[in-house]
């Protein structure tokens, strides 16, 4: 069965620090990869997605993610976080032809002002 792992459950950073959240998946075939964000009290919003082409994907609010096929990873990065980035971040994967989106368990990011 396909699985998605987010090893960092809770990350605490100060403003202006750099961020990298890990995401690894287990499926070896063609995959589509997503990062969603859930701000406190809000619903999930798409940050960025990858399906082919340049493995470095840029999303909204200064976030980017790099797909490394050999490592089955799709890590999320931001050079300088802001207090407003405090949220829960979910990595999600689906196979090229499948309808189901498999989510990781999420990483809670707390940015201290």
Partner 1 sequence: NAGVTQTPKFRVLKTGQSMTLLCAQDMNHEYMYWYRQDPGMGLRLIHYSVGEGTTAKGEVPDGYNVSRLKKQNFLLGLESAAPSQTSVYFCASSYPGRIETQYFGPGTRLLVL
Contacts with partner 1 by CB under 8 A lie at: 4, 6, 9, 32, 34, 36, 42-46, 49, 51, 90, 92, 94, 99-106
Q: Which is nearer to partner 1, 70 or 99 (CB)?
A: 99
Nearer to partner 1, 70 or 100 (CB): 100
- Torsion angle (degrees, nearest 10) of CA 89, 93, 99, 105: -50
**Dihedral sign (CA 94, 98, 101, 105):** negative
| Least Cβ distance, residue 18 to partner 1 (angstroms) | 24
Judged by beta carbon, residue 15 or residue 69, the one nearer partner 1 is: 69
CB of 57 to partner 1, least distance (A): 12
Q: How far is CA 112 from CA 64, 79, 84, in A?
A: 21, 16, 10
Which DSSP state fits 29?
S
C-beta of 15: minimal distance to partner 1 in Å? 27
**Least distance to partner 1, CB of residue 62, Å:** 20
102 pairs with which residues across the strands? 93
Task: Please give the Cα distance from 107 to 81 (Å, whole number).
Answer: 15
**CB-nearer residue toward partner 1: 17 or 72:** 72
């Amino acid at each position: 069965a396909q699985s998605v792992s987010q090893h960092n459950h809770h990350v605490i950073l100060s403003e202006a620090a750099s961020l990298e959240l890990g995401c690894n998946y287990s499926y070896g075939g063609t995959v589509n990869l997503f990062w969603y964000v859930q701000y406190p009290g809000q619903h999930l919003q798409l940050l960025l997605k990858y399906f082919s082409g340049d493995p470095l994907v840029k999303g909204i609010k200064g976030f980017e993610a790099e797909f490394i096929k050999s490592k089955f990873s799709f890590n999320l990065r931001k050079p300088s976080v802001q207090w407003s980035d405090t949220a829960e971040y979910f990595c999600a994967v689906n196979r090229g032809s499948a309808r189901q989106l498999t989510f990781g368990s999420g990483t809670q990011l707390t940015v201290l002002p």
